[in-house]
Amino acid sequence: MHASSRLPSLGRRGEGWVALQATLMVLVALAALVPVYWPDGVAGAFVVLGLVLIALALILFALAGISLLVVRAVTVFPRPREQSGLARRGVYRLVRHPVYGAILLAAVGWSLALAPLGLIPTALLAVVFDLKARVEEAWLTERHPDYAAYRQRTPRRFVPGVY
């Protein structure tokens, strides 16, 4: 049994993980309402970098979504859907959880461009995604026996070439 299977499932389909993730995503967005800004000397560069990261996140999210649609595996929950296939093509050849990576890139981009305090819930979101992905991978291994081999071939979890 994998160490990740010892993590709590937080619901039959992992609903608790989704609630945690949604809460943190809302906090990232709401951070823009707090009047804390980057110093003038770096603000312009951070806005540009943030917008680039958001654009990359949207591309990654779209590519991941297409791959999931093809194998009928689209769900917000970590437990795989009944009768869904295993996404291994497209961006899934490079990372195992590109949707999570896209959301994290967008959250970092948002925080750099608009809301420095958003980096706090973004960091917590990264931890939640890491733990949620471990639970998801345990369930994927149960549903798809070939997932272990896919995981070996695809060592990156969220962002190609990064993590």
Q: The whole model's pTM is what?
A: 0.92
Q: What's the token pair of residue 128?
A: 């939640």
Amino acid at 1: M
Amino acid at 61: F
Name which of 41-45, 58-62, 82-86 the model is least confident about. 82-86
- C-alpha–C-alpha distance, residues 112 and 53, integer Å: 9
pLDDT tens figures, 83-133:
899 999 999 999 999 999 999 999 999 999 999 999 999 999 999 999 999
Our CA angle for 66, 106, 34, nearest 5°, is 150
Three-state SS letters, 25-38: HHHHHHHHHCCCCC
- C-alpha–C-alpha distance, residues 97 and 47, integer Å: 26
Q: Hey, what domains does the chain have and what are their CATH numbers?
A: 49-163 (1.20.120.1630)
